[in-house]
Amino acid sequence: MKKLLKVKPLQHLHDEANDDEKGLKRTLTATNLISLGIGAIIGTGIFVLTGTAAAIHAGPAIVLAFILSGVGCALAGLCYAEFASMIPISGSAYAYSYATLGEFVAWIIGWDLVLEYLFGASTVAVGWSGYFISILKDFGIYLPPEYTASTGTKLINVPNEGWQTLTTVLTERLSSTHVDINGLQTVTALFNLPAVLIIGLLTTLLVIGIKESANFNNIIVLVKLVVIIAFIIFGFSYISSANWVPFIPERIIDVNGHGHYGWFGIVSAAGVIFFAYIGFDAVSTLAQEAKNPQKDMPTGILGSLVICTVLYILVALVMTGIVNYKELNVPAPIALAIDKTGAALAWLRFPVKLGAIAGLSSVILVMLMGQPRIFFSMAKDGLLPEVFSRVHPKFKTPYITTILTGVVAAFFAGILPINILGELVSIGTLMAFVIVCIGIIALRRSKPELHRPFKTPWVPFVPILGALICFLQMLGLPADTWLRLIIWMLIGFVIYYFYGMKHSKVRKL
């Protein structure tokens, strides 16, 4: 038990961070880190989940849901910021757990983070594919539908609309056009080629260099921010305050016994849109590549969170002000809001699609960037094979783990049905947040004398509240998601027992 709970000495972590010969290249500034944080956060949430959560759970009060979920992430973010400034090494929550709670907990969190970064990249790549295909259609380019969606997806050829998923047809088309599905041409998707190609492209970019990847991310973050801000500014004139009444719709129970709206609806919406905030913690995986991690890491983590929360709130206000919340349960709610303004904002439709593609591209990039650095840290500790810790002699990037991550992510995105991975990503991330919050309390008690360039305020209240909010959101996820998490962790325990325990370098210190 002592070996399982043995912590990694902080001095050992600092020595690794300062190893210029075998370490990673320090090139990232605070601006780069904020941009990477925004790149990871703004994506599926703002372009898709906002409308769904408003229509089903909270109504116009989706704004309050964003604030609630943002507060939970901010509390965890404060804990991340203290760790990142104190332990400036690649590995994120894995490295923090190793230094505070011991090897076994560190393995759990490292394996758990694979769910967030690896499967998260696959999931978002499929969303990227959908927007990309939509833009191609605007230019009269049509790819075979069998090769543009997740395996097993049923696609239907709707008149004047082209190929649509069965879910889209049922939720959007039948209610207004009464299309007979049985009389339409259907196919079943075999392979998602665009999703595989975007992962391959971004993986290549990440192998070439972290600075090049950060510069590319800066460009696409700028594109999506311009689009989002344009929607807020120009859409503000078309808001009808009548759509905000009632701001918190009265609680109702549907025929299936599911509750909607009211204060409980706001809490439910907060759990749903939590996925919209996933990604800020990926900034902490880059601590070993930051020029001044003690100062820049807290700025990158908290700065990106604040900017994205403000944008989420403004987009939600404009969207629900233009469109009645009951109509927002569609895959592209921002596009619907633009359509509701008529010809006035028609020019903004294409930029919105372009912004969505840029947003999802940056999310994939940061997810693919974070995962190899987790493997890199675990391999440096001996818990994974040494080959995972190799750095490219020219580019100074963890190229083997980057390529491996890209290949596996592309496999999941292109071959397997991944509709359940969104919830898996959420539960994996929430578990990481809980452990980081607990770790702050543990380290404050065990090593109060340590130098902390950034200190989480009001300890232990902030980390306790952060852990509780995140754990409550975990409890709100379906039982089958918990089952899949347990199965995934059991696989990780087997790897740890047969390899990690025998090769751990920390146990030999």
Which pLDDT score is estimated for 371? Answer: 84
Pair type for strands 252-253 and 162-165: unpaired
For residues 114 and 408, give the distance between their C-alpha atoms in angstroms, rounded to a whole number. 11
Q: Which amino acid is at 397?
A: T
Residue 447, classed as helix, strand or coil, is: coil
Q: How many CA atoms lie within 13 A of 410 on its CB side?
A: 17
- Which residue is associated with the tokens 């592309």? 410
Residue ranges in the chain modelled with pLDDT below 70: 1, 14, 16-24, 44-45, 48, 88-92, 150-153, 159-183, 210, 330-332, 416-423, 476
Which pLDDT score is estimated for 202? Answer: 92
The domain 10-153+189-508 having CATH identifier 1.20.1740.10: the answer here is yes
Sign of the CA dihedral with 180 first, then 182, 186, and 188 last: positive
DSSP code, position 389: G
Which pLDDT score is estimated for 164? Answer: 66
Residue 209 pairs in a beta bridge with none
Which pLDDT score is estimated for 53? Answer: 82
Which pLDDT score is estimated for 416? Answer: 65
Torsion of CA 124, 130, 134, 136, to 10 degrees: 80
Distance linking the first and last C-alpha atoms of the chain: 16
In 460-509, which residue ranges form alpha helices assigned H by DSSP?
461-475, 479-495, 501-503
* Contacts for 490 with CB less than 8 Å, ≥ 6 apart: none
Q: Are 411 and 125 in contact (CB under 8 A)?
A: no
Which pLDDT score is estimated for 160? Answer: 65
- Angle, alpha carbons 172-124-416 (nearest 5°): 90
What is the pTM for the complete model shown?
0.78
Q: Are 344 and 238 in contact (CB under 8 A)?
A: yes
Residues in the chain: 509
Q: Where are the domains of the chain?
A: 10-153+189-508
Which pLDDT score is estimated for 395? Answer: 78
Which pLDDT score is estimated for 90? Answer: 57
Kindly report, residue by residue over 3-30, the tens digit of the pLDDT.
Answer: 777 888 777 776 766 665 555 677 788 8
Q: Are 199 and 364 in contact (CB under 8 A)?
A: yes
Kindly report, residue by residue over 225-256, the tens digit of the pLDDT.
Answer: 888 899 999 999 999 999 998 889 988 887 77
Which pLDDT score is estimated for 165? Answer: 65
